[in-house]
Amino acid sequence: MSWILLVEQALNGLQFGVMLFLMAAGLTLIFGVMGLINLAHGSLYMVGAFAAAAVAAATGSFVLALIASLAAAALAGVLIEATIIRRLYDRDHLDQVLATFALILIFSEGTRWAFGSFPLFLDRPEALSGTVSLPFGIEYSRYRLALIGVGLAVAAGLFWMIAKTRVGIRIRAGENDREMIAALGVDISRLYTLVFALGAALAGLAGALIGAIQSVQVGMGEPVLILAFVVIVIGGIGSVQGALVGAILVGLTDTLGGFLLPKAFALFLSPAAATSVGSSLASMSIYILMAGVLLVRPKGLFGGA
């Protein structure tokens, strides 16, 4: 049944989208509050995945592995924020790009030195293996379904935190006017460290969760980082809602494009040609989506005027 396959692909797209959101939320918050473009965000994702794989191998517990990924990524985030990133807030974007590019080189090679070039494997927890039966006879991976649930729960928690809590109010105030909230007695540098650690922890969590589907290896962070950039450009840099909408759009376009485009071209091309044209177009589809959005709204869907 083709439509069952379609629903499964749509769920895969949603799962990919919510994981992208975990990455994009941190990037967009860090940009919104501190005005920093952080290429090393993908390295924090990798740190989370490696920490999870190492702890899972030592203890066998997936929950401990997730906690380790959050802690390790947040710690790495605090460390680089306090030593390097802090000096970059007042610099122009070129300096930020280069310094964080340098950080990627250091993180990647450092990890390769510590763990070697071979990929590590992180097993899914026993309770979430196998498939689950959804209505209309759809069988779907239990783990991927759990990822959608976790992703949406984190998104809801993040929105609640930003809308309702004192920290969230300070973050929003920091986006609007840094000098003003500093004048009102908020310790701005602690707020910056906190936001950076929060973004880092979300990236690390995403790394651990995805690490159980794919392999854990050096360089795993950068493809996701670039997609997360596309997400926040589509959504509007600095907007968490925009990041959520953008992430789900990109997730669905990427997954459904790879599934539907070859089939669409098969209607009027030979099967071999349809597969090759369809799959090359599919791999470009999210960038075409991004170009389209920017043509209509140069500041993204949720960006300021």
Partner 1 sequence: MTRESCLNVVLMGLLLAVPLAAWALDEPFIITLTTRAVIFAIAGVGLNLALGFGGLVSFGHAAFFGLGGYAMGILAYHAQTYTPLMDWPFVIEGTKSMLVIWPVAIVASGLAALAIGALSLRTSGVYFIMITLAFGQMFFYFTISWSAYGGEDGLSIYVRNSFPGLNTMDPIQFFAICYGLLLLVLWGVHRMANASFGLALRAARQNEERLQAVGQVPYRLYLTAFAISGAITGLAGALFADLNRFVSPSMLSWQTSGEIMVFVILGGVGRVYGPVAGAALFILLEHTLGGLSPYWHVYLGAILLGVVLFARGGIFGLLAGREVAHD
Candidate residues 61, 82, 110, 165; the one interacting with partner 1 per rule CB under 8 A: 110
Of 57, 58, 63, 102, the one binding partner 1 by CB under 8 A: 102
The DSSP bridge pattern shows strands 138-141 and 131-134 to be: antiparallel
d(CA 268, CA 245): 33
Q: 40 phi and psi, to 5 degrees?
A: -80, 5
233 touches partner 1 by CB under 8 A:
yes
Q: List, in order, residues 6 or more apart from 240 with CB less than 8 Å away.
A: 25, 28, 29, 158, 159, 162
In one letter, which amino acid is 123?
D
Site for partner 1 contains 123 (CB under 8 A)? no
Q: How far is the CB of 244 from partner 1 (least distance, A)?
A: 18
Short-list 243, 238, 217, 246, CA closest to 53 = 217
Per-residue binding string, partner 1, 209-228, x by CB under 8 A, is: -------------x---x--
On whether the CB atoms of residues 204 and 43 are closer than 8 A, the answer is: no
Q: How far is the CB of 74 from partner 1 (least distance, A)?
A: 22
The closest of 219, 204, 44 to 118, measured between CA atoms, is 219
User: Binders of partner 1 among 21-80, rule CB under 8 A?
Assistant: 31, 37
- Is 98 a binding residue for partner 1 by CB under 8 A? The answer is yes
Residue 271 CB, nearest approach to partner 1 (Å):
14
> Nearest-CA neighbor of 13 among 254, 189, 175, 224?
254
Closest to partner 1 by CB, 60 or 116: 116
Question: CA 94, CA 110: separation in Å to the nearest integer?
Answer: 24
Q: Which is nearer to partner 1, 28 or 69 (CB)?
A: 28
Minimum distance of partner 1 from residue 239's CB (angstroms):
13
- Could you list the residues that contact partner 1 (CB under 8 A)? 31, 37, 84, 87, 93-95, 97-99, 101-106, 108-110, 112-113, 222, 226, 229-230, 232-233, 237, 276, 279-280, 283-284, 287-288, 290-291, 294-295, 298-300
